[in-house]
Chain A
Amino acid sequence: MHPAASVIFFTVFSGAGFGLLILMGFATGSNATPSTAFLVVHFGLAFAMAVAGLVSSTFHLGHPERAWRALTQWRSSWLSREGVLAILTLAVAGLYALLWVFFDKPIGLLGWISAVLALVTVYATGMIYAQIKAVQLWNRTLTPICYLLFSLAGGGLLFLMLHALFFGSAGSFLSSVAMVLLVIAWAVKIFWWISGDRIVPLSTTESATGLGKIGKTRLFEQPHTGSNYLMNEMGHQIARKHATKLRWISVGLGAVLPIILILIALPAPADALWLVLAVISHMAGMLTERWLFFAEAKHAVMTFYT
């Protein structure tokens, strides 16, 4: 599948932004009394990332001016549900943040609702891809779970970084939480990759053409000498030969390096800088992972072209 930059940016940044909102939703329960600046920066970063991602997702639309129409079919379409849920989450989280920042009234219930909504939003993002039966690599229960776990891991790391920026130290508890979230997310992702490599294709050129009853079938002539929309959109192959290397790079940048940086930051006095680097490294790893998510996926239609 063609890896569109706008969609990669959308899923990675919105995912992390919503992840941070999930953690902020539970933050009223903590003992620390955060300053106004702390809240403004935390909520500000979460909203900025989530909204930037959502805006970016409209860039790949043929008609962005009609994007509002995508909010109408939530009863049947995961893409529509994702849009509705994202707006609902931002509204509830916005109210929660507003009351806390300006009126000093942190309403725990509102935070919890916004956290649950953010979780369901990220799940819906994953389901946009997981629902597509024609792309077997995506069409698995584990796909939305990966999206959820990466959202939490990204949110956890952002939360840790901001905490260190404000309080000078991240603390061992939050550092451990961030590391555990990273390890779980990437472990599941590695399992997703390994199990994905073992998929037996559901459709073949023989089943696609129905000619398998006669014998082994292969494409003799393409319908045209040039390319077409389907081949450009569904037939992306550039990345596949480097897939293994890119997987290592994404795990290295997304998990290993951030964990090393968290461990370095733990005893260091000026640890926030290390954690800023950890966030940058993680996001680079996530962009690689998300690029592979599209580039490695094979679509059933290509059986008509091989």
Chain B
Amino acid sequence: MTTLPETTDRKLGLVIDLDICVGCHACVVSCKEWNTGGYGAPLSDQQPYGDEPVGTFLNRVHTFEVKPESGPARVVHFPKSCLHCEDAPCVTVCPTGASFKRSDDGIVLVNESSCIGCGLCAWACPYGAREMDGAEKVMKKCTLCVDRIYNENIPEEDRVPSCVRTCPAKARHFGDLNDPGSDVSIMVADRGGFDLMPEQGTKPVNKYLPPRPKQEDLDEPVNLASLAEPKATGFLGWLDDALTRIG
């Protein structure tokens, strides 16, 4: 079970547009809401109202500052969840076979009833995509909402991962990255979608779309305060100019 499939028929995954994400964390909340009642053990919190609240999340939004060689720095919101790697190191280290990658759609899952909670898969993942639940003591990770995407009891437009369905900015997309004609594959080709940490050799399925370049003429910050100053016109304007010239 813990050996990886040679290939998978489909490569279901996410495409995340860093140009569009506004960092609202709605995907984080909707992910927790769906998955705490969905597949497997709930996503618990420890001391949610205490001094040091901690809890299990399958999706988190970091925010980075990028400083180019010239021009102003920019802020990039960065949602991060399991990348469902083709060469997933979390799967092969598992001693019990609880971690596995499905050969039909490529989703990486944990069979929680076989998980001994040793934590080695979380160590093996360079992305921090796996978190041990503090209450259930089993490994939790993104399931790509496997209980939504094939679920015929919910309306068809809801059969996508919860984070994708909820994103108000449409920064998250779901599809088959093995099919070159799929919307997500076209998006990746058009925008130069990239892998995170390609040097780790994990071959992630999820792709990220880079922020678009800033407009060149906006390099100098505009002094907004000067635009708000009242400017006299007509006779008063002429008087203002004349008096300024006299000094």
Binding site for B on A (CB under 8 A): 1, 60-64, 66-67, 69-73, 75-80, 83, 128, 131-135, 202-203, 205, 207-211, 213-224, 226-230, 232-234, 299-301, 304-305
Contact = CB atoms under 8 A, between A and B. Distances in A.
Given A69-B95, A131-B124, A234-B122, 14 more contacts: A66-B114, A72-B97, A73-B1, A76-B2, A77-B2, A219-B63, A223-B62, A229-B56, A229-B131, A233-B123, A300-B197, A301-B125, A304-B62, A304-B128
A75 B2 CA distance: 9
Contact of A226 (B54, B69, B115, B125): B54
Interface residues of B, number: 66
Contact of B122 (A76, A83, A203, A230): A230
Given A63-B116, A202-B200, A220-B63, A226 B52 contact: yes
Interface string B178-200: 00000000000000001111111
Contacts of B63: 219-221
Given A213-B210, A221-B62, A62 B138 contact: yes
Contacts of A66: 96, 114-116
B5 interface: no
A166 B62 CA distance: 63
Interface in B52-71: 52-57, 60-69
Contacts of B120: 79, 128
Interface in B121-172: 122-128, 131-132, 134, 136-138
Interface stretch (B7-15, B86-94, B223-231): B86-94
Interface of B: 1-3, 18, 28, 52-57, 60-69, 73-76, 78, 80, 89, 92-98, 114-120, 122-128, 131-132, 134, 136-138, 194-201, 208, 210-211
Contacts of A220: 63-65, 75
Contact of A234 (B57, B95, B114, B128): B128
B123 A229 contact: no
Nearest to B134: A229
Given A83-B95, A202-B200, A226-B53, A67 B62 contact: no
